[in-house]
Amino acid sequence: MEGYLNAISRAVERGDDKQVVKIVEEALASRVPPLDILEGGLVPGIQALGKLFKDGQVYLPEILISCRAMDRGVEELKPYLADTNIHNKGTVVLGTVQGDLHDIGKKLVRLMLECNGFSVKDLGVDVSADSFAHAARQHSANIVGMSTLLTITMTYMPKVIKALEQARLRHKVKIMIGGAPVTREFADEIAAEGFAEDCVSAVDEAMRLMRL
Amino acid sequence: MSISNRERFLAICRFERRGDLCLLTPYINDFWPETLELWVKQGAPKEILDSRFRRAYFQFDHIRILREIKLGIYSDRKLDIGGAAYVYEIPPIVPLYQPKLISEDEHTVTLINEGGQKVRVFKDSPQKMPLFLDHPVKDRASWEEYKKRLEPDTPERWPSDWDAYVQKMNSRDEPTMLNVGSFFGFLREWTGLESLLYMFYDDPHLIEDMMDQICHLETESIKRVVKDIRVDSAMFWEDMAFKTGPLISPDMFRKFMMPRYRKVTDMLRSSGVDVVFVDSDGNLNELIPLWIECGINSFWPLECAAANDAVALRKKYGQYIILGGNIDKRALLKGKNAIRQETMSKVPFLLESGGFFPSVDHLVPPDVTWENYRYFINALREVGGLEKLPE
């Protein structure tokens, strides 16, 4: 079994989706438990990639193809997993704040969070404070993640926090923010518990906020 | 003895005029259109909307960008969205796409722009970067079609009266700059960032083909330009980094981009153009040594929020590189003390070291007030030993 898991992990790490699918199929045929394939093969692969990113050994294209490989592997497992929610480390409601249409940074955060076991509700771009609060309630979010690229829309982030307070949800969710002009100091200033500089540190930060 | 503006620019680039404050415009010292409109409401003269007036008012130094030759990225294209200008960037395709309105709702308009991109734009703030919904190049077949718009000899790429244009450009007492395109940035405009990043693995030959076409377009065109026109500097446009580093690995950069950059910069240098800028947002610290290897020696805007530090770069690279920008736009939001601190912590050292063109670390955004921007320019002038701007 170890051989299959290590091979899956290495294939995820190098973003080889075809190989991931092939080895997952072989592992299933050899009666390796699906949950072991997920937790002992796919997840360690993506975690190893995250470490490589932090060490500056891989870059965004590698993140994308590894997330794709992981996703293909998970798709193979789905019919065999009794509870598809078993992988869920928490629910994140994510969006680019109102007045800002930037998408790609948030998208990468979503991909990495999903690959690392979070359930993500992506609200898209230009998201109003009320929409964040509504979605946080609807999905029983653990974390509300906000993104922006502009200094002029960064000031919308406290409005979202205010809306969560008014909806009496603030004590139920942690706030995580990111984007080009955003700093840890700004996060502290607006009382956001989390701040991430990139898609990999967003996973670390979400884990920290969930105390995982 | 007086010195021409062109000689002055080149002397600064050669580290021969230390302490000389040269505020280049357009491009280096430039603004969101919305910023200027807000300044008029805040008490600025209404003529500030006009670039010539602005140049005279702030005593900026003009660099003549050879924008009539369609080789680089152009951000002066405009469409009217609900009475306001949607200003957008397009790569040098000839012919342009026919703009087309797709749909609109209360707040946004969705359209195909002249670059063939499907975008969603805010009605009340069309200057903001749009949401990109679709791109013209998706695969080899769409690339083969798109490629036809990238031929160097297409007449519409060139000013119609070339001789008159040459004479006009060569008679000017100001530096000239030729936009020489982009190897990463254009591909992103054509395919979309996410698709492009996948493509580096899924179809590297298509990437190579697209970059080869750019290389062909640029080198053939540069050959024609430098034969007739006195070009003082060149500018690549890439925007290929984000907050903590480059969008692709140094290995990919070396494999795909470096050999093609070299063809362009070798041609420029053999024609006497040895000031070669690259404009890229994001954290450039890993990319700068690679660009230096490619023959690029000038960097702008050096965004502070992405951990670029011009003082540290000057100390590290000495006179190998020319620097522009790096005054934190966020300081200009905070007020006079922050502006003064930001300016005085960098500009005296950088000006005295030479090879530095001060500016805010990108276009001046609309949340910078007229009063703060004037204060900033006066702080720069103080460092340069110049009198304050007239009231």
3-state helix/strand/coil string of B290-333: HHHHCCCCEEEECCHHHCCCHHHHHHHHHHHCEEEEEECHHHHH
Domain A88-209 sits in CATH at: 3.40.50.280
Asked if residue B190 lies in contact with residue B137, where contact means CB atoms within 8 angstroms, the answer is yes
In the predicted model, what is the mean pLDDT of chain B? 94
Domain at B311, CATH number: 3.20.20.210
> CATH topology of A2-85 equal to that of A88-209?
no
On whether any CB of chain B is under 8 Å from the CB of A184, the answer is no
Is a pLDDT exceeding 80 seen at residue B1?
A: no
- pLDDT by position in tens, chain A (length 212): 889 999 999 999 999 999 999 999 999 999 999 989 999 999 999 999 999 999 999 999 999 999 999 999 999 998 888 665 666 899 999 999 998 888 888 999 999 999 999 999 999 999 999 999 999 999 999 999 999 988 889 999 999 999 999 999 999 999 999 998 899 999 999 999 999 999 999 999 999 999 87
pLDDT value of residue B236:
97
In terms of DSSP bridges, do strands B108-112 and B118-122 run parallel, antiparallel, or are they unpaired? antiparallel
Instruction: Indicate yes or no: CB of A56 within 8 angstroms of CB of B245.
Output: yes
Q: Is residue B141 part of a domain?
A: yes
CA distance B40 to B37: 5
pLDDT value of residue B71:
92
Instruction: Indicate yes or no: CB of B367 within 8 angstroms of CB of A151.
Output: yes
| A201: nearest CA partner in chain B | B244
Q: Is residue B128 part of a domain?
A: no
From the candidates B108, B243, B329, which should be mutated to test the interface with A, based on the most A CB atoms within 10 A? B243
Q: For residues B321-340, b (16+ Cβ closer than 10 Å) or e, as one string?
A: bbbbbbbbbbbbbeeeeebb
**Token pair 């580096």 is at which residue?**
B200
Is a pLDDT exceeding 80 seen at residue B126?
A: no
For residue B40, what are its two tokens? 């008029």
Q: In chain A, which residues have their Cβ closer than 8 Å to the Cβ of B303?
A: 180
Q: In chain B, which residues have their Cβ closer than 8 Å to the Cβ of A15?
A: 201
Q: Is residue B131 part of a domain?
A: no
Instruction: Indicate yes or no: CB of A180 within 8 angstroms of CB of B244.
Output: no
Asked if residue B316 lies in contact with residue B292, where contact means CB atoms within 8 angstroms, the answer is no
pLDDT value of residue B209:
98
Q: What is the ipTM of this complex?
A: 0.91
In terms of DSSP bridges, do strands B100-104 and B84-90 run parallel, antiparallel, or are they unpaired? unpaired
Q: Where are the domains of chain A?
A: 2-85, 88-209
Q: Is residue B95 part of a domain?
A: no
Q: Tell me the mean pLDDT in the region B227-242.
A: 96
Instruction: Indicate yes or no: CB of B246 within 8 angstroms of CB of A183.
Output: no
Is a pLDDT exceeding 70 seen at residue B73?
A: yes
Contact residues, A window 125-144, toward B, CB-based 8 Å cutoff: 125-126
On whether any CB of chain B is under 8 Å from the CB of A197, the answer is yes
CA distance A45 to A47: 5
CA distance B189 to B116: 9
Find out if CATH 1.10.1240.10 is the number for domain A2-85.
Answer: yes
Asked if residue B228 lies in contact with residue B271, where contact means CB atoms within 8 angstroms, the answer is no
| A179: nearest CA partner in chain B | B243
pLDDT value of residue A87:
67
On whether any CB of chain B is under 8 Å from the CB of A106, the answer is no
Measured in angstroms, the CA of B5 and the nearest CA of chain A are apart by 35
On whether any CB of chain B is under 8 Å from the CB of A152, the answer is yes
Instruction: Indicate yes or no: CB of B365 within 8 angstroms of CB of A104.
Output: no
Instruction: Indicate yes or no: CB of B200 within 8 angstroms of CB of A100.
Output: no
CA distance B157 to B248: 31
Q: Give me the number of domains chain B comprises.
A: 1
Task: Encode pLDDT of B337-358 as tens digits.
Answer: 999 999 999 999 999 999 999 9
| A58: nearest CA partner in chain B | B249
Task: Encode pLDDT of B103-121 as tens digits.
Answer: 998 888 999 999 999 999 8
Looking at residue A31, its amino acid is R
On whether any CB of chain B is under 8 Å from the CB of A150, the answer is yes
Q: Is residue B40 part of a domain?
A: yes
On whether any CB of chain B is under 8 Å from the CB of A101, the answer is yes
Nearest to B201 among A65, A100, A102 (CB): A65
Selection from B146, B144, B126 nearest residue B136 by Cα? B146
Instruction: Indicate yes or no: CB of A150 within 8 angstroms of CB of B193.
Output: no
Chain B residues with at least one Cβ partner in A under 8 Å: 107-108, 120, 122, 125, 128-132, 193-194, 197-198, 200-201, 242-249, 252, 281, 286, 303, 305-306, 329-330, 333, 365-367
Q: What is the reported pTM?
A: 0.91
How many residue contacts between A and B have a Cβ separation below 8 Å?
76
Domain with B356, as residue range(s), is 5-71+136-383
Task: Encode pLDDT of B198-219 as tens digits.
Answer: 999 999 999 999 999 999 999 9
